[in-house]
Chain A
Amino acid sequence: MSDFHTLSLSDLAGLLQAGEVSSQQLTEYFLARIKQYDDQLNSFITVAEQQAMQAAEAADVRLKNGHTDALCGVPFAHKDIFCSEGLRTSCGSKMLDNFISPYDATVVHQLKQAGAVMLGKTNMDEFAMGSSNETSYYGVVRNPWNLDCVPGGSSGGSAASVAARIIPAATGTDTGGSIRQPAALCGITGIKPTYGTVSRYGMIAFASSLDQAGPMAQSAEDCALLLNVMTGFDEKDSTSLERDKEDYTHALNLPLRGLRIGLPKEFFAEGMNVAVDAVIQQALQQYKAMGAELVDIELPNSHLSVPVYYVVAPAECSANLSRFDGVRYGYRCEHPENLTDLYERSRGEGFGAEVKRRIMVGTYALSAGYYDAYYLKAQQLRHLISDDFKQAFETVDVIMGPTTPGTAFRIGEKSDDPISMYLSDIYTIAVNLAGLPGMSIPAGFANNMPVGLQIIGNYFDESRLLNVAHQYQQGTDWHMRIPKGFE
């Protein structure tokens, strides 16, 4: 068999459990695909061939002994934001280019325990700050649907590699849309769970109150399998929520009859790409055909999301990134003359422009005399934004709209215009501010580039989101499309 890459994670897991293929075969197969295609994409920062083959061998022993964890032996990749013991964990930054993590993030540990085989670490915007993967120290990632276009960000490497089928699935993180936006621009499925559902321990912090990890894969079903392993209370993360373990596959096949879908008028306002709008409208009609009801709703404060986000996230990151000081690990400038010089040059040389911009914005927003006007005000508005959703979920079950205002833009198109870049997350950011679960699924193409449909749920409604997505994917094949040149 030579087309494992056309199969979903769930299919591959089935073959492994049935003994029809070994983990070592699959691992070799996908490592070969990475070798063959990643020169075009630049989606990996580190390929951990040796570690992967060892893990595959161990997985095969477990499988032979009747091990039934669904993900045992399945190859996948981690975004390079998750600390992985013995491997470079760069977070896409020169600052951590020399950092070999001495410990595993909880998510890394969980997937290891489940027997999943990590093939490497995927490229990303530096410290997850970016919407195009252009801020990575390791270079831009290319969108497999058009190599001149960005894959989105910050989980651009994960999105591009899954879209090109050089890996069946990957992890991502989402602070303002970093799973959903690249998933949309690359035509894959990604879900950001409710804040507190997946442990943040070992996931290098960008904005602690917004960061949340989640899976990126071909389908909702694949995401459900990954979520089953990635979620759960972690005593090492104080913001992790103590809830019973949930089987996210249990609701996949429920019918959608009577589902109330809220359509916020703010998500369909002017400025939206006409071709994208058409794709979304078509998807909504399909939901209607499945028995769902479309309800117009309002999220009156959603226009505040981007400004609020660009105060809260930089403020938190300005403190979170203070530990990168050239003292204990990471980049240190040559021949520092004194302590101030050590700090200034290590940070000045180790961080890229976008990271420095956000540190400065955040430092400013927290400064004496400005705190009330910026940070405090932003926190107040954040409550208003959450309240909008709370109210909406009193009348609807899920909220839908486009994941992004347009399709993947060309490399370099927005890199000199931060505001325009920030606006590409305009529909995703509010979800993080409210801590809600949200996902993006492929809904078609506009100008030959994938379009993502965003589905937002109430707190802890991941199972319903996956159900809503899965039912759509049962009747469509957008999620199964493979970009030309990667078939």
Chain B
Amino acid sequence: MNYETVIGLEIHVQLATKSKIFSAASTAYGAAPNTQACAVDLALPGVLPVLNKEAVHMATKFGLAIGAEVAPRSVFARKNYFYPDLPKGYQISQFELPIVGTGHLDIELKGGETKRIGVTRAHLEEDAGKSLHEDFAGMTGIDLNRAGTPLLEVVSEPDMRSAEEAVAYMKKMHALVTYLEICDGNMQEGSFRCDANVSVRPVGQAEFGARAEIKNINSFRFVERAINYEVERQIDLIEEGGVVVQETRLYDADRDETRSMRSKEEANDYRYFPDPDLLPVVISAEYLEQVRAELPELPEEKKQRYIDTFGLSPYDAAGLTASRELADYFETVIEKTGDVRLSANWISGEMSARLNKDDLSIAESKVSAEAFAGLLLRIKDNTISGKIAKEVFEAMWNGEGSADAVIEVKGLKQITDTGAIESMVDEVIANNAGQFAELKSGKDKLMGFFVGQVLKASKGKANPAQVNELIRKKLQD
């Protein structure tokens, strides 16, 4: 039987506020345990939450960016459950009335077409602390630094039909929140993570199959693997005559498998009710307009601009706008070089390849946009050839200095002195008289051989165009 996969994602976007969502404690990552937990985060008796306005601001930006209705009135609710890293015994979240309503995000599919993924809602909530099970024999350590960190939980419609679509959606969402500067996007630190709801159904069946919720996946690669594993598991189960049960599962990256955490029957009754310590969040039309005016150019708009004003292909434009950092890098390079085509080719080509090789993001590039532009300028003014430029780039990547410094130190400057090139041409012709005669008699494909020989003699420094021209001149002599 053929099966269709149905996927919905709940993405947890950690908002990049300086302080926590309900207290003044810092949200900075990596501090010593419990040094960034104040009385409110510790849930001491008598303390009260006060909403961080910036978290509301960021959620509002997000809502506008996905074309959603930002609720004029949203309500914080208490989600009740006991866990040692949840100090109050309830999490302050939003339940019936979230701040962001229905919106959407478009993803590009392999064939070049786009698909619209619905966003059901996005709500504000506080993160819990961390339980540390490893460091204490027979005990559990509690670090409440993360407790109260603001999260925007973005819930999608079950619109995705493959792991690839889910990854594309997640990447698009990642780009969006970093464009909006509402999230640092750091997946290793957990700033952007997701739960995936996965089910399968026979092709043609209208109702959904029972779904598994895979918790806390913090990389694009793991999302893909976890979903693929889960889909296979569910299909195998059904094929063997089993029944998929609704449950929560955990993805184990080391073993590349998902494991059951708890079934629906064991699920908590969270007893949500409006938090009486907090007033409803009221968003006025004026505020909404003010935030709308602050919105930066979004990925879709930027992509269109690259197509319209730079004449880039939709494919190149999509690639260069995939992250705000990359687009910013690209625009800086264009500004310095004044050459869109050269900049686009080199960033999509050499730079991307190098980053992939070292598994780095553009923000972590060893060569700054300014330095990179310096390199491209030397190609543009014929100081070096494209081939030599690759060598210079490698040196720059390895910290050997600016393009000019590398060219100078390594003596890679292109030879443009006609006299010098001509003597090299003469030498090559003299050493290959037979082939030259053949070339002269019309065997044109030997042209490449002669150019190559001259370039080789010049150690790649001779200007290929000049070499070409000189050989042609010799043919006419």
Contacts and interface: CB of A to CB of B under 8 A. Distances in A.
A343 B82 contact: yes
A238 B89 CA distance: 20
A375 B276 CA distance: 13
A328 B43 contact: yes
Contacts of B277: 205, 208, 238-239
Given A323-B89, A327-B84, A328-B42, A236 B48 contact: yes
A310 interface: no
Contacts of B88: 319, 322-323
Nearest to B131: A339
A327 B83 CA distance: 10
Nearest to B83: A339
B87 A323 contact: yes
A237 interface: yes
B44 A103 contact: yes
Contacts of A91: 45
Given A323-B88, A325-B89, A368 B271 contact: yes
Contacts of A457: none
A326 to B, nearest CB: 9
A99 B45 contact: yes
Interface string B41-71: 0111111111100000000000000000000
A200 interface: yes
Contacts of A315: 273
A-side interface mostly: loop
Interface size class of B (residues with CB under 8 A): 20 to 34
Interface string B270-283: 01110011110000
B48 A237 contact: yes
Interface in A435-456: none
B48 A366 contact: no
A105 B276 contact: no
Given A323-B45, A367-B269, A328 B90 contact: no
Interface size class of A (residues with CB under 8 A): 35 or more
B352 interface: no
B82 A316 contact: no
Contacts of A235: 50
Contacts of A322: 80, 82, 88-90
Nearest to B23: A236
A13 interface: no
A319 B44 contact: no
Contacts of A319: 78, 80, 88-90, 271, 273
A315 B78 CA distance: 11
Contacts of B84: 325, 327, 339
User: Which residue of B44, B51, B88 has the most chain A CB atoms within 10 A of its CB atom?
Assistant: B44
Given A208-B276, A316-B276, A238 B45 contact: no
B97 to A, nearest CB: 14
B80 A366 contact: yes
30 contacts: A82-B46, A83-B44, A89-B45, A103-B39, A105-B46, A201-B48, A202-B47, A235-B50, A238-B51, A238-B277, A239-B276, A318-B271, A319-B80, A319-B88, A322-B89, A323-B43, A323-B45, A323-B89, A324-B45, A325-B82, A327-B87, A327-B142, A328-B142, A329-B44, A366-B80, A366-B271, A367-B271, A368-B271, A371-B271, A375-B273
Interface of A: 82-83, 89, 91, 96, 99, 101-103, 105, 200-205, 207-209, 235-239, 315-316, 318-319, 321-325, 327-329, 339, 343, 363, 366-368, 371, 375
Interface of B: 39, 42-51, 78, 80, 82, 84, 87-90, 142, 269, 271-273, 276-279
Given A83-B44, A200-B48, A203-B46, 13 more contacts: A99-B45, A101-B44, A101-B45, A101-B46, A201-B47, A319-B80, A319-B271, A319-B273, A322-B89, A322-B90, A324-B45, A329-B44, A368-B269
